[in-house]
């Protein structure tokens, strides 16, 4: 009676209950190659396939030996039967029958090949097997299946590695969707009672098998996945741990989410567009606490420009705080409370709807011309300053004028009287008075006396506020000109504006004499150069004061930069102001370029006679002559007629000189 060989360690246990390390050791003892990187499921399949192949080879060898040596069957039959499971015995018997059939088929095929072979071919006798040569065993179907399983396992490992190198976020999203799909499947099963019974039996059988495996391995039992999904669906929402780690995926860094019940209130203001942000200034031209934030997308979508008067809707109340996620993996969160309430929608732009505002022309593309329409300043006989300006330096629509004045020469009073005269004689003109770095009392006086828009930034504010006010004011004027309106901007003063830009603008590295940065002179020149008379309607008139004789080299450099840029100049004299002769206008040095486009030709001839007369007199005598004549007449027309009657000899002499020439 032969002894049964001892079983290898671990082979008596089921493969499903063995650990991965034990399975790898068993595979190595069986001679399997490439199993160190296999997963447990793949390794189990490979071991089972190898065992099946070994059993098939053993059965084949046994049948061959029986055919060659019938006596071997006696010893084989003497081996006692092992006490095995009836199911396992039936399965082995079926495999043996299949193997015998395949061997019989092989013998028949071999006989057919031998019968069809030629006579000269050498024949292989079955007696050659007794020579002791070990022929290679033919590959059975089970072995081929094992090799195919191993190749499929290798391909699966490669796919898993590629998947791990893929997008992790997509896998996480798929993971979060699986419970929903299971729940949806459970709902569909509940609707169909027939399916529900079969699924329940399957789940119960699966649970029983998992409990049996847990008892054999000594581990805790685990419920099937279907039951865990159902139990998680029955739990309250606040007790479940959310699967989605990115809880703010759709709104990571944007504005706060809308509330369910939101109340919209109307809002209006002037739009200021910056390099990184835009705001609707609701309390004037300076930043305030009630300003409205406008996103860059809304500016682009609605065709908004700096200086637009925008009306729209905003949510009532303070802006809601929102969470901003930072870091490489969006794990760091920070609570953000917006300083300004964002605008909800835009209603009108400069009194027009949004679509009409998109079709307006661009100010930079408008054609500039010389002033052709006179802005008459004469109002009453006793208002001498506007009458003097009309005579010596007439102003037209689209004029770019400088009022050059030393300190304490009355430039602010002159500017105030010009503003009042324009408001009286030209009510269709939009008047804007921009006061930069001025005294607060002068700002109050200007607001109470001028019937127009007063935009001020006093000297106690930082230089950045001065520049913001000036830029927003000139942009507002440009937007009005694009609509075909006539705008007059009175700036006091352009010298102080240049100082503010010298302090607020970034340093360029090129410093002029007096400590003036070369880059600080460009923004004031851009402000002053915006004045123009536009072809086919609209004009922008700018009258700016410039300080001279202050003893500052910086003021001299700034004035020299603007000296030749204007087409009208009104000079005030320190000597006349010290003698208390007002308005202290230097009538001989003041003038307007191309004044023939503004004044009637008959009046122009008389004015040229007066200028020849002024050239032979000093400042005080010339001004006193003009003021005395103006006091005696009720209007400038009457003054010019009186001058023409009193200077006939000069006119005749001039005609004779002109004839000889």
- Sequence-ordered list of residues with C-beta below 8 angstroms from that of 369, at least 6 positions apart, any chain: 398, 532, 533, 534, 535
Closest by CA to 388, choosing from 397, 379, 398, is 379
C-alpha–C-alpha distance, residues 222 and 215, integer Å: 11
Q: Which of 587, 485, 494, 589 is nearest to 538 (CA)?
A: 485
CA 419 to chain CA centroid, nearest Å: 44
Q: Is 485 exposed, middle or buried (0-12, 13-18, 19+ CB in 10 A)?
A: middle
Residue 410 marked in a binding site: yes
> Is residue 591 annotated as involved in ligand binding?
no
Sign of the Cα torsion 454, 460, 463, 465 reads negative
Q: How far apart are CA 153 and CA 69, in angstroms?
A: 42
- Flag whether 4 is marked binding: no
Structure tokens at 240: 């479940």
What number of CA atoms fall less than 13 Å from residue 278's CA on the CB side? 19
Is-contact 517 511, C-beta < 8 A? yes
Question: DSSP state, 511?
Answer: B
3-state SS, 611-636, equals: HHHHHCCCHHHHHHHHHHHHHHCCCH
| 397, 541 contact by CB (below 8 A) | yes
d(CA 305, CA 309): 9
Residue with tokens 């007199």: 617
| 484 assigned ligand-binding residue | no
For 563-618, where are the alpha helices, taking DSSP H only? 574-578, 601-615
Measured on CA atoms in the order 399, 404, 408, 409, is the torsion positive or negative? negative
Tokens encoding 619: 């400042």
d(CA 585, CA 205): 110
Q: Which of 298, 260, 259 lies closest to 279, judged by CA?
A: 298
What is the DSSP secondary-structure string of 374-396? B-----STT-HHHHHHHHHS--B
Q: How many other CB atoms are found less than 10 A from the CB of residue 181? A: 11
The answer on whether 411 is annotated among ligand-binding residues is yes
User: How many other CB atoms are there within 10 angstroms of residue 568's CB atom?
Assistant: 25
**Known binder of ligand: residue 563?**
no
Residue 436 DSSP SS3: strand
The greatest distance separating any two alpha carbons of the chain, rounded to the nearest whole angstrom, comes to 165
The reply to whether 8 sits in an annotated binding site is no
Q: 400: annotated binding-site residue?
A: yes
Determine which helix (DSSP H) or strand (DSSP E) holds 413, and give its type and residue range. helix 411-425
Q: 111: which 2 tokens?
A: 């006989």
Is 127 annotated as ligand-binding? Answer: no
Q: How far apart are the first and last CA of the chain?
A: 157
Please indicate if the annotation marks 398 as binding a ligand. Answer: yes
φ/ψ (deg, to 5) at 608: -65, -35
Contacts of 246 (CB under 8 A, 6+ apart): 252, 325, 330
Conformation bin of residue 544: beta by default, left when phi > 0, alpha when psi is -120 to 50: beta
Smallest CA-to-CA distance from 490 within 433, 416, 423 is with 433
Cα atoms found within 13 Å of the Cα of residue 400, Cβ hemisphere only = 20
Is there a binding annotation on residue 439?
A: yes
Residues making up the binding site for ATP: 396-401, 408-413, 439
Indicate the annotated binding residues: 396-401, 408-413, 439
């Amino acid at each position: 009676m032969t002894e049964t060989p001892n079983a290898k360690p671990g082979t008596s246990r089921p493969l499903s209950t063995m650990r991965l390390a034990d399975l790898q050791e068993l595979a190595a003892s069986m001679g399997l190659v490439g199993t160190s990187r296999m997963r447990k499921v793949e390794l189990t399949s490979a071991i089972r396939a190898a065992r099946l192949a070994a059993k098939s080879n053993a059965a084949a060898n046994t049948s061959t030996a029986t055919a060659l040596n019938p006596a071997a069957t006696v010893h084989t039959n003497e081996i006692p039967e092992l006490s095995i499971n009836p199911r396992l015995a039936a399965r082995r018997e079926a495999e043996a029958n299949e193997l015998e059939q395949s061997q019989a088929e092989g013998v028949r095929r071999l006989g057919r090949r031998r019968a069809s072979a030629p006579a000269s071919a050498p024949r292989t006798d079955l007696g050659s097997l007794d020579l002791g040569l070990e022929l290679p065993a033919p590959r059975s179907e089970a072995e081929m299946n094992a090799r195919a399983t191993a190749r499929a396992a290798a391909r699966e490992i490669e796919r898993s590695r590629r998947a791990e190198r893929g997008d992790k976020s997509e896998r996480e999203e798929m993971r979060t969707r699986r419970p929903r799909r299971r729940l949806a499947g459970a709902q569909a099963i509940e609707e169909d009672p027939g399916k529900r019974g079969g699924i329940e039996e399957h789940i119960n059988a699966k649970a029983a098998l998992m409990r049996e495996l847990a008892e054999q391995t000594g581990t805790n039992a685990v419920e099937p996945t279907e039951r865990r999904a159902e139990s998680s669906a029955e739990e309250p929402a606040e007790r479940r741990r959310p699967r989605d780690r990115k809880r703010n995926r759709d709104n990571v860094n944007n504005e706060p989410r809308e509330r369910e019940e939101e109340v919209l209130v109307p809002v209006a203001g002037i739009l200021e567009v910056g390099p990184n942000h835009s705001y609707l200034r609701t309390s004037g031209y300076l930043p305030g606490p009630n300003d409205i934030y406008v996103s860059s997308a809304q500016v682009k979508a609605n065709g908004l420009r700096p200086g637009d008067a925008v009306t729209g809707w905003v949510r009532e109340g303070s802006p809601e705080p929102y969470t901003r996620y930072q870091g490489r993996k969006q794990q760091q969160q920070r609570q953000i409370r917006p300083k300004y309430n964002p605008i909800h929608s835009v209603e009108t732009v400069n009194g027009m709807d949004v679509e009409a505002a998109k079709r307006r022309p661009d100010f930079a593309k408008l054609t500039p011309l010389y002033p052709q329409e006179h802005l008459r300043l004469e109002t009453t006989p006793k208002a001498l300053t506007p009458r003097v300006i009309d005579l010596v330096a007439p102003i037209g629509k689209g004029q770019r004028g400088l009022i050059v004045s030393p300190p304490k020469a009355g430039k602010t009073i002159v500017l105030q009287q010009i503003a009042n005269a324009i408001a009286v004689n030209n009510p269709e003109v939009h008047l804007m008075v921009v006061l930069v770095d001025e005294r607060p009392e002068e700002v109050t006086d200007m607001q109470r006396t001028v019937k127009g828009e007063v935009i001020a930034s006093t000297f106690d504010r930082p230089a950045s506020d001065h520049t913001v006010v000036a830029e927003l004011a000139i942009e507002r004027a440009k937007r009005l000109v694009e609509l075909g309106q006539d705008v007059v901007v009175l700036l006091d003063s352009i010298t102080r504006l240049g100082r503010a830009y010298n302090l607020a603008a970034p340093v360029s590295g090129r410093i002029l004499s007096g400590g003036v940065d070369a880059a600080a002179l460009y923004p004031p020149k851009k402000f002053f150069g915006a004045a123009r008379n536009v072809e086919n309607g609209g004009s922008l008139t700018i009258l700016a004061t410039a300080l001279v004789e202050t003893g500052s080299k910086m003021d001299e450099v700034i004035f020299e930069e603007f000296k030749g840029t204007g087409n009208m100049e009104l000079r005030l004299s320190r000597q006349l102001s010290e003698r208390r002769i007002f308005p202290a206008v230097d009538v001989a040095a003041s003038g307007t370029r191309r004044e023939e486009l503004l004044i009637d030709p008959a009046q122009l001839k008389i004015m040229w006679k007066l200028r020849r007369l002024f050239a032979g007199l000093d400042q005080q005598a010339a001004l006193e002559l003009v003021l005395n004549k103006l006091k005696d007449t009720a209007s400038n027309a009457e003054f010019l007629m009186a001058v023409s009657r009193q200077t006939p000899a000069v006119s005749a002499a001039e005609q004779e000189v002109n004839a000889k020439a």
